[in-house]
Amino acid sequence: MREKKKEQKKVYIGVDVSKDSLDVAIHGVKNLMHVSNDGTGVRKVVRLAVKRNAVTVCFEATGGYEVKLWMALTEAGLNPAPSNPRMVRHFAQSAGKLAKTDAIDAHIIADYAYAMNPRIMPFPETAELKEIASRHCQIQEMLTAEKSRLHSTRNDCIKEQIRAHIRWLEEELDKTDKDLKAGIKACPEWQQKDKLLQSVPGVGNGLSTCLIARLPELGFLDRQKIAALVGVAPLNRDSGKFHGKRRIWGGRSRVRAALYMAALSAIRCNPTIRPLYLRLLEKGKSKKTAITACMRKLITILNAIMRDHICWHAANQPVSATVA
Protein backbone atom coordinates (compact mmCIF):
# COMPACT_ATOMS: atom_id res chain seq x y z
CA MET A 1 0.00 0.00 0.00
CA ARG A 2 1.18 3.42 -0.81
CA GLU A 3 1.78 5.61 2.18
CA LYS A 4 -0.29 8.73 2.20
CA LYS A 5 1.84 11.81 2.06
CA LYS A 6 1.44 13.94 5.13
CA GLU A 7 0.21 17.41 4.44
CA GLN A 8 2.83 19.98 5.21
CA LYS A 9 1.89 21.86 8.34
CA LYS A 10 1.29 25.54 7.77
CA VAL A 11 3.63 27.74 9.77
CA TYR A 12 2.54 31.02 11.34
CA ILE A 13 5.17 33.25 12.90
CA GLY A 14 4.54 36.02 15.42
CA VAL A 15 7.07 38.74 16.16
CA ASP A 16 6.91 41.06 19.16
CA VAL A 17 8.74 44.23 18.10
CA SER A 18 10.39 46.63 20.51
CA LYS A 19 12.95 49.38 20.03
CA ASP A 20 15.99 47.16 20.66
CA SER A 21 14.84 43.58 20.18
CA LEU A 22 12.62 41.13 18.31
CA ASP A 23 10.99 38.16 20.04
CA VAL A 24 9.96 35.51 17.51
CA ALA A 25 7.49 32.68 18.15
CA ILE A 26 6.01 29.97 15.92
CA HIS A 27 2.41 28.91 16.46
CA GLY A 28 2.34 25.58 18.31
CA VAL A 29 6.05 25.68 19.22
CA LYS A 30 7.17 26.54 22.76
CA ASN A 31 10.65 27.70 21.87
CA LEU A 32 11.27 31.39 21.34
CA MET A 33 13.94 33.23 19.36
CA HIS A 34 15.24 36.52 20.77
CA VAL A 35 17.32 38.74 18.47
CA SER A 36 18.28 42.39 18.27
CA ASN A 37 16.17 44.78 16.23
CA ASP A 38 18.90 45.62 13.73
CA GLY A 39 20.12 44.36 10.37
CA THR A 40 21.62 41.17 11.84
CA GLY A 41 18.55 40.30 13.89
CA VAL A 42 16.14 41.04 11.05
CA ARG A 43 18.13 38.75 8.70
CA LYS A 44 17.83 35.92 11.25
CA VAL A 45 14.06 36.35 11.34
CA VAL A 46 13.89 36.32 7.53
CA ARG A 47 16.05 33.18 7.34
CA LEU A 48 13.78 31.45 9.86
CA ALA A 49 10.66 32.41 7.90
CA VAL A 50 12.20 31.18 4.62
CA LYS A 51 13.46 27.94 6.20
CA ARG A 52 10.08 27.14 7.73
CA ASN A 53 8.18 28.32 4.63
CA ALA A 54 6.00 30.55 6.80
CA VAL A 55 2.50 31.28 5.56
CA THR A 56 2.36 34.54 7.53
CA VAL A 57 4.80 36.61 9.56
CA CYS A 58 2.63 38.72 11.84
CA PHE A 59 3.80 41.67 13.92
CA GLU A 60 2.26 44.71 15.54
CA ALA A 61 2.55 48.19 14.08
CA THR A 62 4.66 49.87 16.76
CA GLY A 63 5.25 53.42 15.58
CA GLY A 64 8.16 52.74 13.25
CA TYR A 65 10.20 50.09 15.10
CA GLU A 66 8.76 47.46 12.76
CA VAL A 67 9.86 49.16 9.52
CA LYS A 68 13.20 47.32 9.08
CA LEU A 69 11.54 43.94 9.58
CA TRP A 70 8.61 44.85 7.34
CA MET A 71 10.91 45.98 4.50
CA ALA A 72 13.12 42.89 4.77
CA LEU A 73 10.17 40.50 4.70
CA THR A 74 8.74 42.26 1.64
CA GLU A 75 12.08 42.18 -0.19
CA ALA A 76 12.41 38.45 0.58
CA GLY A 77 9.02 37.76 -0.99
CA LEU A 78 7.47 36.63 2.29
CA ASN A 79 4.04 37.46 3.69
CA PRO A 80 4.25 40.28 6.26
CA ALA A 81 1.04 40.98 8.18
CA PRO A 82 1.25 44.20 10.23
CA SER A 83 -1.60 44.16 12.72
CA ASN A 84 -3.35 46.61 15.01
CA PRO A 85 -1.99 46.17 18.58
CA ARG A 86 -5.47 46.78 19.98
CA MET A 87 -6.90 43.89 17.97
CA VAL A 88 -4.12 41.58 19.16
CA ARG A 89 -4.68 42.61 22.79
CA HIS A 90 -8.44 42.02 22.50
CA PHE A 91 -7.68 38.59 21.02
CA ALA A 92 -5.42 37.79 23.99
CA GLN A 93 -8.07 38.91 26.48
CA SER A 94 -10.73 36.81 24.74
CA ALA A 95 -8.44 33.80 25.15
CA GLY A 96 -7.98 34.58 28.86
CA LYS A 97 -4.32 35.53 28.46
CA LEU A 98 -3.99 38.64 30.61
CA ALA A 99 -0.28 38.52 31.45
CA LYS A 100 1.99 40.58 29.25
CA THR A 101 5.69 40.06 28.54
CA ASP A 102 7.65 40.15 25.29
CA ALA A 103 7.78 36.35 25.16
CA ILE A 104 4.06 35.96 25.90
CA ASP A 105 3.20 38.64 23.36
CA ALA A 106 5.20 36.89 20.62
CA HIS A 107 3.27 33.64 21.18
CA ILE A 108 -0.03 35.54 21.29
CA ILE A 109 0.77 37.24 17.98
CA ALA A 110 1.59 33.85 16.43
CA ASP A 111 -1.73 32.45 17.73
CA TYR A 112 -3.52 35.53 16.39
CA ALA A 113 -1.97 34.98 12.95
CA TYR A 114 -3.15 31.35 12.98
CA ALA A 115 -6.69 32.07 14.23
CA MET A 116 -7.51 35.36 12.52
CA ASN A 117 -5.53 35.09 9.25
CA PRO A 118 -4.65 38.81 9.18
CA ARG A 119 -4.36 40.62 5.87
CA ILE A 120 -0.99 40.35 4.12
CA MET A 121 0.44 43.78 3.36
CA PRO A 122 3.83 44.26 1.65
CA PHE A 123 5.81 47.31 2.69
CA PRO A 124 4.06 50.22 0.93
CA GLU A 125 5.80 52.28 -1.71
CA THR A 126 4.18 55.32 -0.14
CA ALA A 127 6.00 54.85 3.19
CA GLU A 128 8.35 57.79 2.66
CA LEU A 129 5.48 60.01 1.54
CA LYS A 130 3.56 58.91 4.64
CA GLU A 131 6.46 60.02 6.87
CA ILE A 132 6.44 63.47 5.29
CA ALA A 133 2.65 63.64 5.70
CA SER A 134 3.02 62.63 9.37
CA ARG A 135 5.61 65.35 9.89
CA HIS A 136 3.24 67.84 8.24
CA CYS A 137 0.50 66.91 10.72
CA GLN A 138 2.92 67.13 13.66
CA ILE A 139 3.98 70.65 12.68
CA GLN A 140 0.34 71.69 12.30
CA GLU A 141 -0.41 70.35 15.79
CA MET A 142 2.58 72.21 17.24
CA LEU A 143 1.47 75.40 15.50
CA THR A 144 -2.02 75.09 16.98
CA ALA A 145 -0.59 74.48 20.45
CA GLU A 146 1.84 77.41 20.24
CA LYS A 147 -0.87 79.80 19.02
CA SER A 148 -3.04 78.75 21.99
CA ARG A 149 -0.13 79.39 24.36
CA LEU A 150 0.44 82.81 22.81
CA HIS A 151 -3.10 83.89 23.71
CA SER A 152 -2.85 82.62 27.29
CA THR A 153 0.67 83.90 28.09
CA ARG A 154 1.14 87.28 29.82
CA ASN A 155 4.93 87.45 29.99
CA ASP A 156 6.22 89.58 27.08
CA CYS A 157 9.56 87.75 26.92
CA ILE A 158 7.84 84.36 26.64
CA LYS A 159 5.43 85.78 24.06
CA GLU A 160 8.32 86.81 21.84
CA GLN A 161 9.85 83.32 22.15
CA ILE A 162 6.53 81.77 21.15
CA ARG A 163 6.18 84.14 18.18
CA ALA A 164 9.68 83.21 17.01
CA HIS A 165 8.82 79.52 17.30
CA ILE A 166 5.58 80.06 15.37
CA ARG A 167 7.49 81.77 12.56
CA TRP A 168 9.95 78.85 12.43
CA LEU A 169 7.12 76.29 12.42
CA GLU A 170 5.37 78.13 9.58
CA GLU A 171 8.58 78.01 7.55
CA GLU A 172 8.91 74.27 8.25
CA LEU A 173 5.27 73.76 7.25
CA ASP A 174 5.95 75.44 3.90
CA LYS A 175 8.98 73.16 3.40
CA THR A 176 6.98 70.00 4.10
CA ASP A 177 4.25 71.21 1.73
CA LYS A 178 6.86 71.54 -1.01
CA ASP A 179 8.31 68.11 -0.12
CA LEU A 180 4.86 66.52 -0.40
CA LYS A 181 4.21 68.12 -3.79
CA ALA A 182 7.68 67.12 -5.02
CA GLY A 183 7.16 63.54 -3.81
CA ILE A 184 3.88 63.20 -5.69
CA LYS A 185 5.29 64.90 -8.78
CA ALA A 186 8.24 62.47 -8.83
CA CYS A 187 5.92 59.47 -9.26
CA PRO A 188 3.64 59.44 -12.36
CA GLU A 189 1.23 57.02 -10.67
CA TRP A 190 0.79 59.26 -7.62
CA GLN A 191 0.52 62.32 -9.84
CA GLN A 192 -2.31 60.64 -11.72
CA LYS A 193 -4.07 59.70 -8.49
CA ASP A 194 -3.68 63.26 -7.26
CA LYS A 195 -5.36 64.67 -10.39
CA LEU A 196 -8.22 62.19 -10.16
CA LEU A 197 -8.85 62.94 -6.49
CA GLN A 198 -8.60 66.71 -6.82
CA SER A 199 -11.07 66.67 -9.69
CA VAL A 200 -13.82 66.25 -7.06
CA PRO A 201 -15.20 69.59 -5.77
CA GLY A 202 -14.16 70.04 -2.15
CA VAL A 203 -11.04 67.87 -2.35
CA GLY A 204 -7.80 69.79 -2.16
CA ASN A 205 -4.12 69.05 -1.81
CA GLY A 206 -4.43 68.12 1.88
CA LEU A 207 -6.94 65.29 1.51
CA SER A 208 -5.45 64.08 -1.77
CA THR A 209 -1.96 63.74 -0.29
CA CYS A 210 -3.36 62.13 2.86
CA LEU A 211 -5.28 59.51 0.86
CA ILE A 212 -2.31 58.68 -1.37
CA ALA A 213 0.02 58.30 1.61
CA ARG A 214 -2.29 56.80 4.22
CA LEU A 215 -5.04 54.95 2.34
CA PRO A 216 -3.46 52.82 -0.41
CA GLU A 217 -6.55 50.55 -0.26
CA LEU A 218 -8.66 53.29 -1.86
CA GLY A 219 -10.20 51.92 -5.04
CA PHE A 220 -9.56 48.28 -4.12
CA LEU A 221 -12.29 47.77 -1.49
CA ASP A 222 -16.06 48.06 -1.69
CA ARG A 223 -17.81 51.09 -0.23
CA GLN A 224 -18.72 49.42 3.07
CA LYS A 225 -15.18 48.25 3.74
CA ILE A 226 -13.53 51.54 2.77
CA ALA A 227 -15.94 53.46 5.02
CA ALA A 228 -15.17 51.11 7.92
CA LEU A 229 -11.42 51.40 7.27
CA VAL A 230 -11.58 55.19 7.48
CA GLY A 231 -13.91 55.04 10.48
CA VAL A 232 -17.04 56.70 9.05
CA ALA A 233 -19.28 53.62 8.94
CA PRO A 234 -22.00 53.75 11.64
CA LEU A 235 -21.87 50.72 13.94
CA ASN A 236 -24.96 49.24 15.62
CA ARG A 237 -25.31 49.14 19.42
CA ASP A 238 -28.26 46.79 19.85
CA SER A 239 -28.84 44.09 22.45
CA GLY A 240 -32.19 42.38 23.01
CA LYS A 241 -34.86 45.06 23.27
CA PHE A 242 -32.27 47.79 23.62
CA HIS A 243 -31.58 49.75 20.44
CA GLY A 244 -28.79 52.27 20.86
CA LYS A 245 -27.66 55.00 18.51
CA ARG A 246 -25.36 53.98 15.71
CA ARG A 247 -21.94 55.58 16.10
CA ILE A 248 -18.71 55.69 14.14
CA TRP A 249 -15.70 54.16 15.86
CA GLY A 250 -12.09 53.24 15.11
CA GLY A 251 -10.54 53.67 11.69
CA ARG A 252 -7.63 55.83 10.60
CA SER A 253 -7.88 59.05 12.54
CA ARG A 254 -5.52 61.09 10.33
CA VAL A 255 -7.50 60.20 7.21
CA ARG A 256 -10.78 60.91 8.97
CA ALA A 257 -9.56 64.34 10.12
CA ALA A 258 -8.53 65.31 6.57
CA LEU A 259 -11.82 63.93 5.21
CA TYR A 260 -13.76 66.02 7.74
CA MET A 261 -12.18 69.26 6.51
CA ALA A 262 -12.79 68.28 2.88
CA ALA A 263 -16.43 67.42 3.67
CA LEU A 264 -16.97 70.92 5.12
CA SER A 265 -15.66 72.35 1.87
CA ALA A 266 -17.73 69.93 -0.23
CA ILE A 267 -20.89 70.93 1.65
CA ARG A 268 -20.44 74.43 0.22
CA CYS A 269 -19.47 73.60 -3.37
CA ASN A 270 -20.10 69.95 -4.28
CA PRO A 271 -23.40 69.42 -6.20
CA THR A 272 -23.80 65.94 -4.71
CA ILE A 273 -22.69 66.51 -1.13
CA ARG A 274 -24.49 69.81 -0.49
CA PRO A 275 -28.05 68.51 -1.30
CA LEU A 276 -27.38 65.46 0.91
CA TYR A 277 -26.39 67.70 3.82
CA LEU A 278 -29.43 69.97 3.45
CA ARG A 279 -31.79 67.01 3.06
CA LEU A 280 -30.53 65.43 6.30
CA LEU A 281 -30.93 68.71 8.19
CA GLU A 282 -34.52 68.99 6.91
CA LYS A 283 -35.18 65.50 8.30
CA GLY A 284 -34.11 66.72 11.74
CA LYS A 285 -30.66 65.16 11.81
CA SER A 286 -28.01 66.97 13.82
CA LYS A 287 -25.24 68.83 11.98
CA LYS A 288 -22.69 66.35 13.33
CA THR A 289 -24.66 63.41 11.93
CA ALA A 290 -25.16 65.16 8.60
CA ILE A 291 -21.46 65.98 8.26
CA THR A 292 -20.53 62.37 9.07
CA ALA A 293 -22.93 61.16 6.35
CA CYS A 294 -21.30 63.60 3.93
CA MET A 295 -17.87 62.28 4.86
CA ARG A 296 -19.05 58.75 4.12
CA LYS A 297 -20.57 59.84 0.81
CA LEU A 298 -17.40 61.68 -0.17
CA ILE A 299 -15.08 58.75 0.54
CA THR A 300 -17.49 56.50 -1.40
CA ILE A 301 -17.26 58.82 -4.40
CA LEU A 302 -13.47 58.96 -4.19
CA ASN A 303 -13.29 55.17 -3.87
CA ALA A 304 -15.39 54.77 -7.05
CA ILE A 305 -13.24 57.30 -8.91
CA MET A 306 -10.04 55.44 -8.01
CA ARG A 307 -11.64 52.07 -8.79
CA ASP A 308 -12.96 53.06 -12.22
CA HIS A 309 -10.12 55.47 -13.02
CA ILE A 310 -12.50 58.30 -13.86
CA CYS A 311 -12.58 61.95 -12.89
CA TRP A 312 -15.34 64.27 -11.81
CA HIS A 313 -17.20 66.31 -14.41
CA ALA A 314 -18.55 69.80 -13.78
CA ALA A 315 -22.04 68.55 -14.60
CA ASN A 316 -21.65 65.83 -11.94
CA GLN A 317 -21.14 63.17 -14.58
CA PRO A 318 -17.94 61.07 -14.56
CA VAL A 319 -15.93 61.13 -17.75
CA SER A 320 -12.74 59.37 -18.80
CA ALA A 321 -9.72 60.87 -17.09
CA THR A 322 -7.08 62.42 -19.26
CA VAL A 323 -3.92 62.94 -17.28
CA ALA A 324 -0.94 64.57 -18.87
Per mean pLDDT, which range of 146-155, 179-188, 295-304 is the poorest? 179-188
**Among the residues of the chain, which ranges form H helices?**
39-51, 67-75, 85-94, 102-116, 127-152, 156-186, 188-198, 205-214, 223-230, 253-269, 273-282, 287-308
For residue 73, pLDDT over 60 is answered with yes
For residue 126, pLDDT over 80 is answered with no
pLDDT value at residue 184: 86
**For 144-152, what is the mean pLDDT?**
91
How far apart are the C-alpha atoms of 142 and 193, rounded to whole Å? 29
Residue 321: pLDDT band by 50, 70, 90 thresholds?
very low
pLDDT value at residue 44: 95
Percent of the chain with pLDDT over 70: 89
Residue 235: pLDDT band by 50, 70, 90 thresholds?
low
pLDDT value at residue 245: 63
Percent of the chain with pLDDT over 90: 50
What dotted CATH number matches 12-116?
Answer: 3.30.420.40
How far apart are the C-alpha atoms of 205 and 56, rounded to whole Å? 36
For residue 112, pLDDT over 70 is answered with yes
pLDDT value at residue 240: 56
**Alpha-carbon 223 to chain mean position:** 16
Query: Euclidean distance between the first and final Cα of the chain, in Å?
Result: 67
H or E element in which residue 59 lies = strand 56-60
Per mean pLDDT, which range of 26-30, 225-229, 303-307 is the poorest? 225-229
Give the highest mean pLDDT range of 6-15, 62-71, 121-130, 141-150.
Answer: 141-150
pLDDT value at residue 98: 84
**For 47-76, what is the mean pLDDT?**
90
pLDDT value at residue 314: 39
Residue 234: pLDDT band by 50, 70, 90 thresholds?
confident
**For 309-319, what is the mean pLDDT?**
62
3-state SS, 118-166, equals CCCCCCCCCHHHHHHHHHHHHHHHHHHHHHHHHHHCCCHHHHHHHHHHH
pLDDT value at residue 246: 57
- Give residue limits of the domains in the chain: 12-116, 126-186, 188-324
Residue 319: pLDDT band by 50, 70, 90 thresholds?
very low
pLDDT in tens, 172-210: 999 998 988 888 888 888 889 999 999 999 999 889 998
pLDDT in tens, 243-284: 556 565 667 888 999 999 999 999 999 999 999 999 999 999
pTM of the model: 0.67
**For 284-288, what is the mean pLDDT?**
91
How far apart are the C-alpha atoms of 208 and 200, rounded to whole Å? 10
**For all residues of the chain together, what is the average pLDDT?**
86
How far apart are the C-alpha atoms of 215 and 226, rounded to whole Å? 9
